C-alpha cells in the first residue's frame, strides 16, 4: 500500500483492512468486519484450515487436467473416472507422480489403455514471470522424473505419455519456459510448453 511520506503507516488498519476485504469479496458481502467476530484461537484454527489451500488448488487443477485430456480424446470417460478416483484416493503428500494411470500394479491393461504420468504444479511466480529458486528446483526434478522415472515408481517412463501441468496464472507460462530453456537439450526438447484451451 503506497503512502505519502508525511502519512504514518498503520499496521493494524492495513492488516485488518486486507483481511476484511478478502472475506467480503469471497463471501459476497459488503463492509462486514469479520475479524471483529474472531478470537485469536479462531484465527489459529483458520490458519490451520487455510494451510490446505495449496492441496485444494492442486486437486482442482488435477481434475481439470483429467477433464481436458478426456475432452481432447486422449482418454475415454471410463478412464477419466478411474483417474479421478485414483487421484482422490491419494494423500496429498504421497510420493510419486501426481497422476499415474493405470496406478495399481495388478491392473489388467486393456488393449485401449493409454498409460499416463503427470506432475501438477500450482506455483505462482514470485517475480512476475519467474519462479523462485526452490520452485525452479522442484519443477526441474519433476521434469527429470517424468523423463527418467522415479526411484519409488516401478514403471518404464518411455511407455507413458508424460505431462507437466501448471496452473495458468499470470506469468506462469513465461516462468516455465525459462526453466525449460535452462535445462540441457533432451529435457528442454521433451518439455517445450504447449498451450491447450
pLDDT digit string, tens, across residues 29-50: 999 999 999 999 999 999 888 8
Determine how many CB atoms are found less than 10 A away from the CB of residue 139.
22
Strands 116-121 and 161-166: parallel
Q: Show the cell assigned to 89.
A: 484416493
Length of the chain: 197
pLDDT digit string, tens, across residues 84-94: 998 998 888 78
Total-model pTM: 0.76
CA distance 195 to 197: 7
The predicted structure's pLDDT at residue 28: 96
* Cβ atoms of 178 and 128 closer than 8 Å: no
The predicted structure's pLDDT at residue 195: 56
* Cβ atoms of 119 and 165 closer than 8 Å: yes
* Cβ atoms of 75 and 114 closer than 8 Å: yes
Residue 99 region by backbone torsions, left for phi larger than 0, else alpha for psi between -120 and 50, else beta = beta
pLDDT digit string, tens, across residues 137-171: 999 999 999 988 887 777 778 888 999 999 989 99
Q: What angle, rounded to 10 degrees, do the helices at 77-88 and 53-71 form?
A: 170
Amino acid at each position: 500500500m503506497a503512502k505519502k511520506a508525511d502519512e504514518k503507516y498503520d499496521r493494524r488498519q492495513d492488516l485488518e483492512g486486507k483481511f476484511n476485504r478478502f472475506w467480503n469479496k469471497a463471501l459476497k458481502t459488503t463492509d462486514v468486519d469479520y475479524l471483529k467476530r474472531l478470537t485469536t484461537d479462531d484465527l489459529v484454527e483458520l490458519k490451520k484450515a487455510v494451510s490446505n489451500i495449496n492441496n485444494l488448488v492442486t486437486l482442482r487443477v488435477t481434475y481439470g487436467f483429467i477433464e481436458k485430456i478426456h475432452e481432447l480424446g486422449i482418454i475415454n470417460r471410463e478412464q477419466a473416472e478411474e483417474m479421478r478416483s485414483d487421484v482422490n484416493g491419494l494423500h496429498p503428500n504421497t510420493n510419486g507422480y501426481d497422476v499415474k494411470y493405470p496406478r495399481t500394479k495388478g491392473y489388467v491393461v486393456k488393449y485401449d489403455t493409454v498409460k499416463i504420468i503427470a506432475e501438477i504444479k500450482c506455483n505462482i511466480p514470485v517475480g512476475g514471470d519467474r519462479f523462485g529458486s526452490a520452485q525452479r528446483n522442484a519443477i526441474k526434478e519433476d521434469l527429470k522424473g517424468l523423463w527418467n522415472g522415479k526411484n519409488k515408481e516401478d514403471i518404464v517412463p518411455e511407455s507413458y505419455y508424460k505431462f507437466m501441468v501448471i496452473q495458468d496464472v499470470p506469468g506462469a507460462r513465461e516462468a516455465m519456459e525459462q526453466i525449460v530453456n535452462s535445462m540441457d537439450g533432451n529435457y528442454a526438447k521433451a518439455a517445450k510448453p504447449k498451450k491447450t484451451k
